[in-house]
Amino acid sequence: MNVMIFVDYDNFCRSIWAIDNHRQPKISKLQNYLIDYLQKKLGWQQYAPLLARTYCYTGEYADTTITKIKKHFDEETNPTLKSEIKEILDDAQRRQGAVGKGGQKDFFYKANCFDFFELKTKPLQYSREKKQIFQKGVDVQLAVDLVSHAFHNNFDVAIICSGDVDLLEALKLVKSLGKKVVVFSNPSNAAKEVRKEADHFINLANLEENELNVFSYSVIQRKQN
């Protein structure tokens, strides 16, 4: 039984934060937890579930994103608005970070070393009108890949770490191709239609702390230690 895992990173983080906003994912450990879940909780040992690959989708604090914010900052003449944009710019640069110094670039660098794991990124967008950074196209890319891999018979089971309602039609299509679909999310962050359509829903909110600790960690506890 071949298994593929599809993670909407932002959506998955929000599912964890709904339980404890001081928790952060250990994304490299997630795939082992989920394969173990299939074997022990669903009793699928006899099918020998084997991880084919994990795909993780996220918005990137790309240089183009930073450049757009800088341009807005340089062109703004209102002192109050300029100050607000400066805060957005500083936060974006901090989040982007650098290899070996934390931030997203450091995470991307480390993720390239994870086994059977592939990052798929889309540049984050910036709205001058709303003075807001936002993610665009990530859920579409996940849906396209999910359906494409199903058509190519690359998996028997898809585990989707997202509850975005935009994935609903992709889930239906994948199931019509004879594939099993497992959704792993928090009900507070997963559409009812998606939970209902899944062959099996893993309720993240019902997990014990020792289970959460397998694929996430508490920032506060780590600092205390």
pLDDT over 90, % of the chain: 93
- What confidence tens digit (pLDDT) does each residue in 127-161 have? 999 999 999 999 999 999 999 999 999 999 999 99
Residues in CB range of 147: below 8 A, 6 or more apart:
170, 173, 174
Q: What is the pLDDT of residues 192-201, one digit of tens each?
A: 999 999 999 9
Checking if the pLDDT of 162 tops 50, the result is: yes
Residue 190 has pLDDT above 60, yes or no: yes
Q: Can you tell me the distance from the alpha carbon of 204 to that of 77, in angstroms, rounded to the nearest whole number?
A: 47
Q: 102: phi > 0 → left, psi -120 to 50 → alpha, else beta; which? A: left
User: How many degrees, rounded to 5, is the angle at CA 138 between CA 136 and CA 142?
Assistant: 155
Residue 134: what pLDDT? 95
Average pLDDT over residues 160-174: 96
Query: Could you tell me what percentage of the chain is helix, strand and coil, using 3-state DSSP and rounding each to the nearest 5?
Result: 50, 25, 25
Give the fold, CATH level 3, of 2-60+112-224.
Rossmann fold (3.40.50)
- Whether the per-residue pLDDT at 225 is higher than 70: the answer is no
pLDDT band at residue 99, thresholds of 50, 70 and 90? Answer: confident
